[in-house]
Amino acid sequence: MVERSRNSSMFFVCVVGICVTLVSRINGQTVNVPWTQEKLHHKASTLSSDDITRVLSRSDLERMWEKDLRPMLVTRYPSSAGSQAVQQHIRSTLGALTAGWDLEEDRFQSHTPYGPMTFTNIIATLNPSAKRRLVLACHYDSKYYPPQWHGREFLGATDSAVPCAMLLELARVLDQELLTHKGSVPDLTLQLLFFDGEEALFQWSSSDSLYGSRHLAQKMENTAHPPGATDTNQLHGIDLFVLLDLIGAPTPRFGSQFPNTARWLSKLQSIERRLHKMGQLEEHLNEVQYFWPGLQVGPVEDDHKPFLNRGVRVLHLIPSPFPSVWHTFDDNEHNLDRPTIQNLNKIVQVFVLEYLRM
């Protein structure tokens, strides 16, 4: 479950790790920048139309639908048989790619309104030795509905089977580029996070929600990064935490929640414009329909929160308003909008290529 917060208090912790000092050029001047600050000055590339056309020719919605999405459209609340199957599906899909993803599980028990339960996050890292990571995240669990709704299953198509399928398809489409990147850019990589237990099991509260992301944010904060470091941890390694949620319904609009990452929402808007002009987007009538960096939207409780509260820079790709099918039994395959999903696939795929300067 994702619910709107009435509490708008947020804070940013300034993280300043004085570790390895590198020399960067900013505005033409040479200055010393600790590696933990390089993200603040990171410049993405801009691909040529030919390169975009070449890469996006491999983007295949039907393949994503059959290979990634359908296997996820099962009841998959924490510890359920469906959850086990989806975990296995994520691991085997990424494990079969040539890029060579490092796959890790974060399994833990947590107290819930139904007693102690086991949760499993999946962490896929392209190059674990890279200090800096662009993170793409989604939650794979579905909301638990007790059995009184005989015969009706909550499948959470937008919440969040589609976002997770988008990440798997992205890894497949960019497989060759990611393999090349891994061998040529040692300090910046891609990490995919698949959270368990985002949804409340009984009723949304600070203790009954975000089980997986709360656990992983704490664990990453307690894990030295690079290994052996004394004053930096894995959270310092996150350049940008991009969370995808509630995606798959028609006409989504993504506004800005965080001024410190608005420039990356602008980057997505510019990619949307470019792909529109290239004729790459289907049923996309105006140059810009999805990404609105100038549109301020209120805070939403979601898996980014435990990271945001620890100073991580967040780009939250969740539509405002939420899809009309949100947390209803109509959040199913039938109500998904294929052109929107494929358009967003393409935009996010180009975003990753350009962020990683591939």
Told to check if 1 binds Zn ion by CB under 5 A, we report: yes
Q: How far is the CB of 2 from Zn ion (least distance, A)?
A: 5
- According to the 3-state scheme, what is the secondary structure of 131-189? CEEEEEEEECCCCCCCCCCCCCCCCCHHHHHHHHHHHHHHHHHCHHHHHHHHHHCCCEE
Told to check if 201 binds Zn ion by CB under 5 A, we report: no
Reply yes or no on whether 221 is catalytic: no
Question: Closer CB to Zn ion, residue 207 or residue 223?
Answer: 207
Contact characters 119-158, Zn ion, x per CB under 5 A: ----------------------------------------
Q: Tell the residue number behind the tokens 């939420």, with chain if given.
A: 322
Question: Closer CB to Zn ion, residue 2 or residue 193?
Answer: 2
User: Which token pair is 287?
Assistant: 């140059």
Query: 68, 199, 208, 245: which one is catalytic?
Result: 245
Reply yes or no on whether 68 is catalytic: no
Q: If we measure between CA atoms, which residue out of 13, 2, 5 comes closest to residue 299?
A: 5
Q: How far is the CB of 214 from Zn ion (least distance, A)?
A: 16
Q: What is the dihedral of CA 91, 95, 97, 103, to 10 degrees?
A: 80
Q: How far is the CB of 61 from Zn ion (least distance, A)?
A: 23
Q: How far is the CB of 198 from Zn ion (least distance, A)?
A: 7
Please tell me the distance from the alpha carbon of residue 173 to that of residue 166, in angstroms, as a whole number.
10
Q: How far is the CB of 287 from Zn ion (least distance, A)?
A: 31
Kindly list the distances between the CA atom of residue 301 and the CA atoms of 56, 106, 205, 316, 344, in Å, as whole numbers in the listed order. Answer: 33, 22, 10, 10, 22
Question: Closer CB to Zn ion, residue 1 or residue 170?
Answer: 1
Please tell me the distance from the alpha carbon of residue 179 to that of residue 126, in angstroms, as a whole number.
8
Q: If we measure between CA atoms, which residue out of 341, 290, 317 comes closest to residue 63?
A: 341
Q: How far is the CB of 325 from Zn ion (least distance, A)?
A: 11
Please tell me the distance from the alpha carbon of residue 59 to that of residue 282, in angstroms, as a whole number.
13
Please tell me the distance from the alpha carbon of residue 187 to that of residue 160, in angstroms, as a whole number.
30
Question: Closer CB to Zn ion, residue 143 or residue 215?
Answer: 143
Question: Closer CB to Zn ion, residue 52 or residue 300?
Answer: 300
| Most distant CA pair in the chain, distance | 66
Q: Tell the residue number behind the tokens 């896929």, with chain if given.
A: 124
Instruction: Enumerate residues 151-170 that contact Zn ion by CB under 5 A.
Output: 159
Cβ neighbourhood burial of 82 (10 Å; 0-12, 13-18, 19+):
buried
Query: 198, 199, 208, 354: which one is catalytic?
Result: 198
Question: Closer CB to Zn ion, residue 18 or residue 114?
Answer: 114
Cβ-count burial 130-140 (b if 16+ within 10 Å, e if not): bbbbbbbbbbb
**How many chain residues interact with Zn ion (CB under 5 A)?**
3
Residues making contact with Zn ion (CB under 5 A)? 1-2, 159
Residues with catalytic annotation? 198, 245
